[in-house]
Amino acid sequence: MQIASHSAAFWFLSDCWVLIIRSFKHIFKNIDQLLGLVLQPLMFMLLFRYVFGGAIDTGPVSYVNYLMAGIIVQTAAFGATTTSMNVALDLKRGIVDRFRSLPMADSTVLIGHVVADLVRNLISTVVMILVGLLVGFRPDATIQEWLLATALLMTFTFAVSWLSAILGLLVKTVEAVMWISFMVIFPLTFASSAFVPTASMPWVLRMFAENQPVTHTIEALRGYTVGTPVGDSGWIAFVWWGVIIVLSIPFCGWLFRRYSA
């Protein structure tokens, strides 16, 4: 019994690895995704740094230091939606039906997309930080704070990727996935503390912005990297995204099995 369970675990991990490599190949052979990996972070950073940087008062923190956490979270959020597009493409092209004929676990298809997009977003974040350093970003985080920031960003990206996988399974068309993702991510990132302090917002919008999970993620990431007060945002952000991961993975698996049935 124990040998059989070990063998099943080995083949499951092996299947996951094959599907992860498959997703990596799609990323690095697709010129659009490669451009998004490098140019999108660069464009957002330079745009907000030099267009809005002189017009927004962020107090004792320079605007580029204030901006970095928001840009990182926004780029990770939009990058994680690649999962939904890839899942929708697999369903549209019928590749999932071919996978079903093979002796492999169904969930490995989703795991391959999610893990590949997680690594993709980490690469994009590194590119963005390097660009930020060139335009004035000056972090003062300790090693422990960098580890916390990395863990939070990975948890956030992992959660959004699984939510995106659910969207890809429900919608099934790339066009619908793109506009629905935009309609969800855009207000959550802009109606937050990503680009301006929430104190400048109207009361109703401010209440929403200060209590939604993206703002807590940004505030915690900002605190870890440049020393602004973290408050309760750190543990609240981890709890938010941890609960979303716990709930979304089994629901995503159920949707996938339902589609495959």
Dig out the tokens for 176 from the structure. 């619908």
Dig out the tokens for 86 from the structure. 């890839």
Rounded distance, CA 21 to CA 216, Å? 33
C-alpha separations of 62 from 143, 227, 228 in Å: 22, 12, 11
- Residue 128: name the closest of 25, 225, 31 by CA: 225
Rounded distance, CA 240 to CA 210, Å? 14
User: Where are the alpha helices (H) located in 172-232, listed in sequence order?
Assistant: 174-190, 203-211, 213-226
Q: Per-residue pLDDT for the chain (261 aa), expressed as one digit of tens each?
A: 444 455 666 666 777 777 777 777 776 666 666 666 677 777 878 888 888 776 777 778 888 888 899 989 988 888 878 888 878 777 777 776 676 666 666 677 788 888 888 888 888 888 888 888 888 888 888 999 999 999 999 999 999 989 988 888 888 677 788 888 888 888 888 888 888 888 888 889 889 989 999 999 999 999 999 988 888 999 999 999 999 999 998 898 888 777 655
The reported pTM is 0.87
pLDDT of 33: 65
